């Protein structure tokens, strides 16, 4: 499990190309935490619970953060948020009628960065990396429009401001449109795009990308930040930073939950992706006393939004042939908008998944997009099933022109094409993989060209 989480950290933080959804990732983390809670003796020295993210890859110089960059614990339900408030009450020995003020703010789906100012001048900018060591991306951050080069007014001699670098949805759409024209691989979502754009070796490339920054925390600071987080946000604005205008001071956890509902309603209309709401204890003396546990503060929590879902008709189940012959059933859908993105295809994983959920052609399915990557059909609405719908039958032959037989080895979830290199579909996928960014990175030899060369019998 630790290895698996480390693998996904690497894909997310270093490659900006995750292969699982945030929800699936959170589930892995939670499972790890659950195991560690029950069996403390099993906590490994390299446990994911002791780390945030992944060590940066070479390319940029390393920056050791003077104060570690923390992550947040997640809440998924209202009960989780009530538990959070209850824990604070207990930890601080508060009375039942003592009010807990929380600042609630949208959780921006970008990547965090730390900006260091000395005597009001921007001197160093870094990514979070593993929380302890990040990458020096000063030159690139200078090109982020919301990052002030010189602070306004009187600022502490040393001031590290932390926040989220993100790309607006409109800028993301324009960038991908241009990349499609240039036959470059598309970014999966604004977050990956922001991360890829900030971590460019050539700062001129970053300059062309329209990145933005919301400030929300401090690292090293040579003066006390103030009495309350709310007041600190005001100071950030005064120094010239952008603070999310939606941030709200809530008099109680109930008021914070009401804010969550309101933001959930506005979510689709915002020009940036958010994946939840962050609640932070407003009193800084309380924050200090609450401190942190492993990688996250006790005084804050991220209340995540559930995955976005929509209903649509599953018109046909087709088979996708992978590089190694794995046959993956794919749902071809009547196009539907899920969380602002049009979805026409969704994965059905494998034939056991289809059997277990009894998914049939003609069914109306619930399609889910959890933040990113591949949409999936989570269940079908049996009441809407047409009478003619027949149970799915796994293919006996590969959909390729050779129609080679398929086989499923005992103990394996996947059915495979037995044609190996003779199967033209496998050939195609193997070559595509060979030329791809993660392998030989042959620029210009993408899907379209391989298809042309194959059709012209040049390969």
Q: Which stretch binds ligand IVH (CB under 6 A): 55-63, 100-108, 179-187, 404-412?
A: 100-108
* CB-closest chain residue to ligand IVH: 112
Comparing CB distances to ligand IVH, the nearer of 70 and 348 is 70
Q: Residues 339, 341, 345, CA angle at the centre, nearest 5°?
A: 110
How far apart, in whole angstroms, are the C-alpha atoms of residue 196 and residue 173?
A: 15
Does the footprint of ligand IVH cover residue 107 (CB under 6 A)?
yes
| Residue choice 9, 22, 135, 164 for contact with ligand IVH (CB under 6 A) | 164
Task: Tell me if 108 contacts ligand IVH by CB under 6 A.
Answer: yes
Residue 246: phi, psi to the nearest 5? -85, -15
Q: How far apart (Å, rounded) are the C-alpha atoms in residues 125 and 167?
A: 18
Can you tell me which of 9, 36, 101, 105 binds ligand IVH, judged by CB under 6 A?
A: 105
Pairing of strands 74-75, 300-304: parallel
- Under the criterion CB under 6 A, does residue 71 sit at the interface with ligand IVH? yes
- Window 205-224: residues binding ligand IVH (CB under 6 A): 216-217
Nearer to ligand IVH by C-beta: 292 or 310? 292
CA gyration radius, the chain: 25
Give the residue with the Cβ less far from ligand IVH, 246 or 408.
246
Closer CB to ligand IVH, 60 or 272, in the complex: 272
In the complex, minimum distance from the CB of residue 211 to ligand IVH, in angstroms, rounded to a whole number: 14
DSSP structural state of residue 12: I
Q: How far apart are CA 53 and CA 6, in angstroms?
A: 8
Least distance between ligand IVH and beta carbon 109 (Å): 7
For residues 305-337, one letter each, b for 16 or more C-beta atoms within 10 angstroms of the residue's C-beta and e for the rest, the string is bebbbbebbbeebebebbbebbbbbbbebeebe
- Which one-letter DSSP state was computed for residue 312? E
**Least Å distance between CB 217 and ligand IVH?**
5
Residue 278 is a binding residue for ligand IVH (CB under 6 A): yes
Query: According to the binding rule CB under 6 A, does residue 297 interact with ligand IVH?
Result: yes
Nearest to 239 by CA among 117, 321, 341: 117
Q: In 10 A of CB 233, how many CB atoms?
A: 22
Residue 316 annotated to the active site: no
Closest to ligand IVH by CB, 70 vs 211, is 70
Query: Looking at beta carbons only, is 158 or 296 nearer to ligand IVH?
Result: 296
For the bound state, the minimum distance from the C-beta of residue 30 to ligand IVH, rounded and expressed in Å, comes to 13
- Identify the H or E element spanning 330: strand 326-338
- 22 is a site residue for ligand IVH (CB under 6 A): no
Q: Which stretch binds ligand IVH (CB under 6 A): 3-11, 34-42, 67-75, 226-234?
A: 67-75
CB-side exposure of 33: number of CA atoms within 13 Å?
15
Phi, psi of 27 (to 5 degrees): -65, -40
**Is residue 5 part of the contact set for ligand IVH (CB under 6 A)?**
no
Minimum separation from the CB atom of position 244 to ligand IVH (A): 7
Nearer to ligand IVH, 247 or 435 (CB): 247
Contact segment (CB under 6 A) with ligand IVH among 34-42, 70-78, 321-329, 412-420 equals 70-78
Residue 7 vs residues 14, 25, 296, 323, 447: alpha-carbon distances, Å: 10, 11, 21, 21, 26
Q: What SS3 state is found at 240?
A: coil
String marking each residue 298-337 x if it binds ligand IVH according to CB under 6 A? --x-x-----------------------------------
With 0-12 CB in 10 A as exposed, 13-18 as middle and 19+ as buried, what is 285? exposed
What H or E segment, with its residue span, contains residue 253?
A: helix 253-266
Q: How far is the CB of 410 from ligand IVH (least distance, A)?
A: 41
Nearer of residues 75 and 327 to ligand IVH, judged by Cβ: 75
Q: Which tokens is 101 given?
A: 């003020």
> Which residue in the list 3, 15, 50, 107 is annotated as catalytic?
107
* Cα–Cα nearest to 98, from 108, 90, 107, 110: 90
Cβ distance 88 to 290 under 8 Å?
yes
Q: What is the DSSP letter of 414?
A: -
Which of 187, 193, 151 has its CA nearest to residue 168? Answer: 193
For ligand IVH, which is the closer residue by CB, 70 or 81? 70
Query: Is residue 256 a contact point for ligand IVH (CB under 6 A)?
Result: no
Total residues at the site for ligand IVH (CB under 6 A)? Answer: 14
CA–centroid distance for 391 within its chain = 35
Binding of ligand IVH at residue 126 (CB under 6 A)? no
Using CB under 6 A, list all residues that contact ligand IVH: 70-72, 105, 107-108, 112, 164, 216-217, 278, 297, 300, 302
Just list the catalytic residues. 107
């Amino acid at each position: 499990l630790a290895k698996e989480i480390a693998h996904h950290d690497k894909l997310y933080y270093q490659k900006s190309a995750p292969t699982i959804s945030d929800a699936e990732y959170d589930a892995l983390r939670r499972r790890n935490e659950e195991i560690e809670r029950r069996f403390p003796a099993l906590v490994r020295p390299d446990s994911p619970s002791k780390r945030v993210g992944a060590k940066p890859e070479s390319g940029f110089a390393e920056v050791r953060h003077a104060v570690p960059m923390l992550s947040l614990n997640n809440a998924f339900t209202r009960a989780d948020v009530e538990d959070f408030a209850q824990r604070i009450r207990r930890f601080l020995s508060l009375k039942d009628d003592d009010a807990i003020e929380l600042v609630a703010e949208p959780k921006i789906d970008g990547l965090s960065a730390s900006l260091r100012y000395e005597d009001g001048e921007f001197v160093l900018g870094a990514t979070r990396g593993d929380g302890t060591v990040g990458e020096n991306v000063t030159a690139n951050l200078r090109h982020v429009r919301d990052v002030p080069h010189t602070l306004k007014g009187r600022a502490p001699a040393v001031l590290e401001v932390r926040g989220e670098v993100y790309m607006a949805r409109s800028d993301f759409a324009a960038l991908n449109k241009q990349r499609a024209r240039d036959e470059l691989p598309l970014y999966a979502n604004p977050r990956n795009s922001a991360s890829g754009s900030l971590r460019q070796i050539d700062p001129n490339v970053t300059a062309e990308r329209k990145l933005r920054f919301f400030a929300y925390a401090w690292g090293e600071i040579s003066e006390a930040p103030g009495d309350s987080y709310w007041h600190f946000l005001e100071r950030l604005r005064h120094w010239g930073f952008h603070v999310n205008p939606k941030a709200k001071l809530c008099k109680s956890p109930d008021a914070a939950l009401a804010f969550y509902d309101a933001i959930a309603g506005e979510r689709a209309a915002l020009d940036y992706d958010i994946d939840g709401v962050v609640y932070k204890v407003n009193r800084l003396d309380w924050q200090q006393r609450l401190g942190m546990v492993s990688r996250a503060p006790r005084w804050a929590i991220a209340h995540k939004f559930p995955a976005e879902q929509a209903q649509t008709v599953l018109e046909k189940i087709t088979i996708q042939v992978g590089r190694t012959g794995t046959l993956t059933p794919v749902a071809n859908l009547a196009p539907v908008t899920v969380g602002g993105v049009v979805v026409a295809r969704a994965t059905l994983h494998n034939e056991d998944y289809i059997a277990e959920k009894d998914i049939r052609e003609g069914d109306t399915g619930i399609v889910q997009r959890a933040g990113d990557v591949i949409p999936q059909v989570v269940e079908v609405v049996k009441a809407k099933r047409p009478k003619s719908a027949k149970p799915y039958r796994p293919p006996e032959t590969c959909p390729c022109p050779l129609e080679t037989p398929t086989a499923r080895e005992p103990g394996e979830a996947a059915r495979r094409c037995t044609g190996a290199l003779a199967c033209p579909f496998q050939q195609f996928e193997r070559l595509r993989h060979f030329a791809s960014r993660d392998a030989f990175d042959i620029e210009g030899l993408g899907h379209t060209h391989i298809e042309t060369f194959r059709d012209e019998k040049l390969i």
